[in-house]
Structure 1
Amino acid sequence: MTVPIDFTQSAQYNLSIRLSTDGFSFSVFNPQDNRECFCSFYPVNARHSMAANLKQFLAETEEIKHRYKQVNILVHTERYTSVPLEWYEDELTDTLFYQNLPRRNNEVILCNVLGKSNVVILFALDKLSHLFLTEHFPEARFFATISPLTEYFCQQSKGSERRRLLVHLQPETVDVIAFGKDCLQLVNTYSVSSTEDCCYYLLGIWKQLGYDQEHDELHVCGEPAAERTEVLECLKKYVRHVIIINPRMEDNIPFDMQSLILCE
């Protein structure tokens, strides 16, 4: 059962903010007792830039103006790349990123080192949004949303005799993480416009990786629920073990945000 947050005790709590082009989510929770939890959604104006929406969000949202023990900023983006941990060096951050993605002006490249997965996620955020956030939250930690998903799934998959494919559904994208033989095999995000697109990518990846339709597992999480049901019905025609990952906390907290909390 969820317990209401007492904002007069905010210095004991963690704040997580998730930035996406379809809106901003934020949650406040007690790291000692995750029953104490608050989550809300802030709609954005699609005609305005991320930075303009963010400036308004920071000015208007009273809950984020308190002092918190820890602040996490999650950025939902397709502009990321993964690098094996043993290949990564700090001074090569920009070079490695732009080897895999086209260069853009006015962005900062950020880094998540994932110890459980032995991989580094490099991702971009526009400089003005980064400036607003660091001015408002000087000690904030920045994550690509794919990062906690990868850590959580790798943590859950190690030791399994079956190879696993994690599918994280979003309204216009699908995140795919493949884990087999105790190692991460794939991390990628695809733009999708229909159920057919989504299933095409997923079954193509399944085939390319050589996964077994009878033995290996396909895990599905995310939203919206209607599209998730359609995708599940499609996938179950071809893969025996299709497993729905149910959130352990409040249903209105995005799963990638929950995975960060669960990995803390």
Structure 2
Amino acid sequence: MQQNLQQFKIVDKAFKIKQASKYYLTVKFTETALNYCVYDPSKRRFVALANYENLDSYQYDNLIVNDELLTQFYGKLRIIVPSQEYTLIPNEYFDLKSVNDYASLHFRNRSNKVFVNDVPSLNAKQIFTLDERLQRTVTHFFEGALIYFEGTPLLEGLINQSSHTEKQLLYIHVVKGAIQLVVFSNGKLQFYNRFEYKTDDEFIYFPLFVCKQLDLNPKDLHVFMLGAIRPGDVAYNLIHQHFRKVHFGELSTRLGFSAAMTQIPQHRFYSLLNIELCA
């Protein structure tokens, strides 16, 4: 497609901004990017999608105030954020009163606010912190929003799609400066983690390291690429150099889209759009 995926906005003709309260807005942040989608629950389909990349670190304010869709009042508001501090706790061991104790045990930065997501497919809770700079933006512009760690909709989507296969699967979800790696074996989640990287060598090191630690043969794995990656990218070429069975991931068939949005590669905004599986 000819669409510039680094910066664009697609809005379905059926979307009525004066009726924004009937729709759901989800905004996903990374350190240097922002993308969002608008979902129509009555028609069960996404009606708007936008993406802004290469922003200054944690500088979103001007973009938000100048985007009309981001300043409306919506029936449901959700925010997806990155975090360097997160952990999964099975429901049978989780006690809401002990959240601060979990944070003290697992997290180094005591000043960042702690959040909890439910992960129904794992019968677990995702505990994570939110960067103070990003928290100020969310509090100022999106007060009352539900906050999700980026791994939560990613895992919900992948578990939904991968629980019925006996193959060994590796999902590589890419954003600028970070990747999330998810491994399934015989339909069960075997591994999840998020890694930050600065160089191409660091990028490819992490999936190869995970394969070594889990005793997986890169040539036998079915690898699916998600997020900000496309043919011709250095990351794309590196993955093809080391893995044999490589594909782009696809969204769940449970998700519906307006016709204009079908032009966007399905893998590109996987974690953003899978938020509807977390509802």
TM-score (norm 1): 0.83
Which of 169, 172, 194 in structure 1 is aligned with 2:174?
A: 169
Q: Residue 70 of structure 2: SS of its match in structure 1?
A: helix
Q: What amino acid is the match of 1:97? A: A
In the TM superposition, 1:52-67 aligns within 5 A as 53=59, 56=62, 58-67=64-73
- Aligned-partner SS, 2:272: helix
Structure 1 residues not aligned, in runs of 5+: none
Task: Find the counterpart in structure 2 of residue 36 from structure 1.
Answer: 47
Residue in 2 aligned with 1:209? 214
Structure 1 residue runs of 4+, over 6 Å off? none
* Structure 1 SS opposite 2:12: coil
Tell me, in whole angstroms, the C-alpha distance in 2 between the residues paired with 1:85 and 1:18. 26
Residue 242 (structure 2) pairs with residue 233 (structure 1): no
More displaced 10-residue stretch of structure 1: 244-253 or 204-213: 244-253
Match of 1:70 among 73, 76, 85: 76
- Does 1:80 pair with 2:95? no
Contact 1:232 1:242 survives alignment (8 Å): no
Deviations 1:208-251 (A, max 9, x none): 11224454322111114367x43343333443322211468643
Shift of 1:33: 4.1
The verdict on how the C-alpha distance between 1:40 and 1:196 changes in structure 2, with shifts beyond 3 A counting, is closer
Corresponding letter in the other structure for 2:81: V
**Structure-2 separation of matches of 1:158 and 1:225:** 26
RMSD: 2.9
The number of aligned residues is 257
- Percent identical residues: 17
1:154 paired residue number: 159
For 2:269, which of 251, 254, 260 is the aligned residue? Answer: 254
Change (3 A) 1:7 1:150: same
User: What letter matches 1:23 in structure 2?
Assistant: A
Distance in 1 between residues matched to 2:114 and 2:184, nearest whole Å: 26
CA pair 214-59 structure 1, distance change in 2 beyond 3 A: closer
Q: 1:244 aligns with which of 224, 244, 248?
A: 248
Over residues 119-145 of structure 1, what are the superposed CA-to-partner deviations in whole Å (9 max), with x where a residue is unaligned?
Answer: 322111245754663565454211011
Cα distance 1:208–1:128, how it changes in 2: closer, same or farther (>3 A)? Answer: closer
- List gaps (5 residues or longer) in structure 2: 1-9
- Deviation (angstroms), 1:19: 1.9
C-alpha distance in structure 2 between counterparts of 1:163 and 1:213, whole Å: 10
TM-score, length basis structure 2: 0.79
CA distance in 2, matches of 1:214, 1:128: 42
